[in-house]
Amino acid sequence: MKHAFSPVTIGQLDLKNRFVRSATYDGMAERSGMVSEAQIALYRKLAEGEIGLIVTGIASVHPTGRISAFQNRIDGDDTLPGWRRLAQTVHGHGGKIAVQLFHGGRESWIYQKAKRSMAVAPSVVLNDPYCDAEYREIREAEILELVGAFAGAAARAREAGCDAVQLHAAHAYLFSQFLSPAANLRSDHWGGNFDARLRFLEEVYRAVRKSVGPDYPVLVKLGVADGFSGGLDFTEGREAAIRCARLGFDAIEVSQGLRGKRYAETEFRCGIRKREDEGYFRQWAREIHAAVSVPVIMVGGIRSPEFAEEVIERRETDLVAISRPLVQEPDLIARWQSGDLRPATCISCNRCFDAILKGDALHCAMEKETSVPAP
């Protein structure tokens, strides 16, 4: 385990090992969007668990992108005391923390509708088999407002003492909607060809960089291919990663873009039971690692210390990120470090995800079961 437990630097940020807690929404914020006591307790456990870098769950940068009442906000200075306390808690237990900056785009539609607002997206796609949201096309002035909102949120993360920010440009959400030819049908300079579809992410990066300064780590979780054919393909996704690295992002976590219909076509796949099933985005991470000169973070079904060690030793990635296993075992990395090298107990059944969709706080919903069929 000498590679996985060796230190690494992201931009100016020194990390004690190569393990990242991949961003995990917990549905535990106060209804006001503030950091809650339950979150302080959760992050204390994660920091005690020897994770090198903890990425928070999705933090909303603008009211139009909020997806749930129990989601953290970072869209106003009123949220600063909570973020400050969270950062201090993590630091007090030897950890580092990055805030994941988020806008849900059309995926925010249920919450927006409840608030009598209409969700926004790059374009309205008619008869979309992968999305039955109610939403409208975002106007250019609103796009520019969001660019500023991301910059303001990043400045707040820095002011609160958090160590980094990560732009959530993966999965089903606004950045992925802009990048995907299946979701972005615009004919102005925010859509159409690849350069135009990438523009929103690039403009947000530039504004964020300006607001946090040259030394603050700005990461991206990038969806490099959609989960269905006809969407973003990996050739373009790889090019997007290269452009992100050149632009100045300090690290790239490699994930999927828009979701298909089944779990097998999403970023959280089921049924990871043997070594061969681990690291289902391994190939993408490996190819991007070979093409960029900033640290790459591999995510998706990493469950054993041997796998983590192998992909780092072989230089397929610089870091590995883990989400679901840490729901059940927040001390997993400490356990591996202590020499107990059994794989994570998580069986990737996704009941933790199903539970938060129903509005529950994050928890492992199958503690005692041993096998659950994949949906």
Ligand X SMILES: Cc1cc2nc3c(=O)[nH]c(=O)nc-3n(C[C@H](O)[C@H](O)[C@H](O)COP(=O)(O)O)c2cc1C
**255 binding ligand X? (CB under 6 A):** yes
Figure out which of the listed residues 227, 231, 295, 300 binds ligand X, where binding follows CB under 6 A: 300
The one segment of 121-129, 283-291, 295-303, 328-336 that binds ligand X by CB under 6 A: 295-303
Figure out which of the listed residues 241, 322, 349, 364 binds ligand X, where binding follows CB under 6 A: 322
Q: Report residue 10: phi and psi, to 5°.
A: -115, 110
CA dist 24 and 219 (Å) reads: 16
For residue 124, the tally of other CB atoms under 10 A from its CB is: 15
Shortest reach from residue 316's CB to ligand X, in Å: 16
CA dist 25 and 42 (Å) reads: 12
Using an 8 Å Cβ cutoff, are 256 and 267 in contact? yes
CA dist 191 and 197 (Å) reads: 5
**Of 196 and 334, which has the nearer Cβ to ligand X?**
334
The one segment of 21-29, 75-83, 224-232, 241-249 that binds ligand X by CB under 6 A: 21-29
Identity at 161, one-letter amino acid code: G
**In the range 43-62, which residues lie near ligand X by CB under 6 A?**
57-58
**Of 133 and 321, which has the nearer Cβ to ligand X?**
321
Shortest reach from residue 372's CB to ligand X, in Å: 14
Between β-strands 53-60 and 19-21, what pairing exists: parallel, antiparallel or unpaired? parallel
Using an 8 Å Cβ cutoff, are 156 and 5 in contact? no
Figure out which of the listed residues 25, 111, 249, 284 binds ligand X, where binding follows CB under 6 A: 25
The one segment of 62-70, 185-193, 319-327, 365-373 that binds ligand X by CB under 6 A: 319-327
**324 binding ligand X? (CB under 6 A):** yes
**221 binding ligand X? (CB under 6 A):** yes
CA dist 64 and 121 (Å) reads: 10
**353 binding ligand X? (CB under 6 A):** yes
CA dist 144 and 128 (Å) reads: 26
The one segment of 139-147, 191-199, 229-237, 352-360 that binds ligand X by CB under 6 A: 352-360
The one segment of 40-48, 178-186, 242-250, 318-326 that binds ligand X by CB under 6 A: 318-326
**22 binding ligand X? (CB under 6 A):** yes
Between β-strands 164-169 and 218-223, what pairing exists: parallel, antiparallel or unpaired? parallel
**Of 185 and 329, which has the nearer Cβ to ligand X?**
329
Say which of 43, 173, 205, 263 is annotated catalytic: 173
Shortest reach from residue 98's CB to ligand X, in Å: 11
Using an 8 Å Cβ cutoff, are 17 and 49 in contact? no
Q: What is the helix (H) or strand (E) element at residue 283, kind and residue range?
A: helix 282-291
For tokens 């009211």, the residue is 63
Using an 8 Å Cβ cutoff, are 218 and 248 in contact? yes
**Of 27 and 191, which has the nearer Cβ to ligand X?**
27
Number of residues that bind ligand X (CB under 6 A): 24
Shortest reach from residue 280's CB to ligand X, in Å: 8
CA dist 92 and 106 (Å) reads: 38
Rounded to whole angstroms, the maximal C-alpha distance in the chain is: 56
Let me know how long the chain is. Answer: 375
**278 binding ligand X? (CB under 6 A):** no
DSSP, collapsed to helix, strand or coil, labels residue 237 as helix
CA dist 55 and 48 (Å) reads: 15
- Please confirm, yes or no, whether 205 is among the known catalytic residues: no
**267 binding ligand X? (CB under 6 A):** yes
Figure out which of the listed residues 168, 286, 289, 351 binds ligand X, where binding follows CB under 6 A: 168
CA dist 361 and 352 (Å) reads: 9
**Of 138 and 352, which has the nearer Cβ to ligand X?**
352
Where do contacts with ligand X occur on this chain (CB under 6 A)?
22-25, 57-58, 100, 168, 170, 221, 255, 267-268, 299-302, 322-324, 352-353, 356, 362
Q: Catalytic residue numbers?
A: 173
